[in-house]
Amino acid sequence: MVVRNFGPFLLDDSFVYTFFPLLAIVGVVLYVKSKEASKLAKERVAAAPYSLWEPNRRPKPNDIKNMLSSFLQEPVTPTTNIDILSSPPVPFRPYKPIYHMTMGIEKCVPNDLFLLDSSYPDRIALRKQLTSQYSTITLGASPLATDAIQELYTYLISHHMPSRFPHLFTVDTEKSSFTNHVSGDTHPLEPPGPSLAALKILASTVEEDILILQRDPQEEIYRLRAFIACFPNGFDSSQKMNLPLREIHEPVPMFKEKLAPSMDRFFNKLEVGKWVKRFNWTISTHNKLFLPTENHVYEGEEIPDELESVDLETTYLRVERQVLFRLPVSKAMIFFVRTYLTPLKAVKAEGQGEALATAIEGMPEKLAFYKRRGVWGKAVTVALRA
């Protein structure tokens, strides 16, 4: 047996031949484990990039771009319909024989956030006119909504619109600009400092009205903090600023007892990455889209005189398609509202005359009063069944 001198230690060959291979094996195992731990840590960060977000810290544009990455894990795929602006609006018919006062939530995907069609050019031109002529009614923002507005602007302008509709909207990263090839407008990729300026750009880019709601941490309720309301249906959003949901909907019959509790729960539970939609409908005896008043009758008011007859070419089914989702950084709730107007003549031609007439008659009395059914109800149902 050979004894070797290692500094102050005397070790024989059997120890040397056993110890050093074991040391090498331990080193390899530790290296492999450290690589696995590093990979797992990266995966955890990728799965939850917002864990380091400080709610009280004001975000910068680069923060927003980076943190939007996980929000976009479900990709927005480019549409292959190059004639999309020649396509007619989707014929949504959400009415049922009996009107049930429920939220009526359905699943939605980011690809269906915007449904562009032949109405887009004219609607965008009208929205630009309305935001200039009625700026205080169509646009509004609380200072508390600044971060949410910047985040929404970045998502829509930098990602969603050019990714979903690349033949209509393009981005020039060198010039840091976004171009709408339908309207010919060019806008900055970075959200403008003034919130109203950012909202005005969004109003002239998307056909949907937008409500931004934020949670009040002291009361744990959601309040309206910003809006684009070019096509309101009897609501003046400028009068609703900073109000909680329950007060905003207070004039709506049965809302307090039927919808308020479930809506509060829904808003508190909706997670980032979950997209939902719902529909609302009524009858309109004109084709006005900008209606901050009218179209409703409130308790204590006298209902106007009943119409003896209606023209189905100038009387419309007014449908609102509403999409809701939560922003990942600010955690604000975004409420998109797209308005569809379909002449009742077209609805009847589809063979839907009896179904719509039955749905009108199936409205609860309080809701029917609110929607002015006493004015147009009889004349419309008679015409639909004729």
Q: What is the pLDDT of residue 349?
A: 97
CB burial of 61-97 (b: ≥16 within 10 Å; e: otherwise) equals: eebbbebbebbeeeebeebeeeebbeeebeebbebee
In angstroms, the CA 380 to CA 384 distance is: 6
In which domain, by residue range, is 151 found? 61-79+92-303+321-341
Q: What is the pLDDT of residue 22?
A: 63
The answer to the question of residue 108 being in a domain is: yes
The answer to the question of residue 140 being in a domain is: yes
Residue 235 CB coordination number (10 Å):
21
Q: What is the pLDDT of residue 36?
A: 60
The answer to the question of residue 27 being in a domain is: no
In angstroms, the CA 259 to CA 256 distance is: 6
pTM, 2 dp: 0.80
Measured at the CA of 39, the angle between CA 35 and CA 40, to 5 degrees, comes to 115
Per-residue pLDDT of the chain (386 residues; tens, 9 = 90+): 555 555 555 555 555 556 556 666 766 666 666 666 554 444 333 322 222 233 343 445 555 555 555 555 567 899 988 899 999 999 999 999 988 777 788 999 999 999 999 999 999 999 999 999 999 999 999 999 999 999 999 999 999 999 999 999 999 999 999 999 999 999 999 999 899 999 999 999 999 999 999 998 887 789 999 999 999 998 899 999 999 888 887 777 767 666 767 777 888 888 888 899 999 999 999 999 999 987 777 776 777 889 999 999 999 999 999 999 999 999 999 999 999 999 999 999 999 999 999 999 999 988 888 889 999 999 999 999 99
The answer to the question of residue 372 being in a domain is: no
Q: What is the pLDDT of residue 11?
A: 52
Of 282, 258, 280, the C-alpha closest to 337 is: 280
Of 371, 345, 349, the C-alpha closest to 359 is: 371
The answer to the question of residue 247 being in a domain is: yes
User: Alpha helix locations (H) across the chain?
Assistant: 13-47, 61-67, 120-133, 135-138, 146-153, 161-164, 195-203, 245-248, 260-269, 344-349, 353-361, 365-370, 373-385
What is the amino acid identity at position 68?
Answer: L
Burial class, 175, CB count within 10 angstroms (exposed 0-12 / middle 13-18 / buried 19+): exposed
Task: Please tell me the total count of domains within the chain.
Answer: 1
Question: What is the DSSP secondary-structure string of 287-298?
Answer: ----BSS-S---
Q: What is the pLDDT of residue 67?
A: 54
Q: Which residues on adjacent β-strands are paired with residue 9?
A: 6
Q: What is the pLDDT of residue 96?
A: 93
The answer to the question of residue 383 being in a domain is: no
The answer to the question of residue 115 being in a domain is: yes
The answer to the question of residue 369 being in a domain is: no
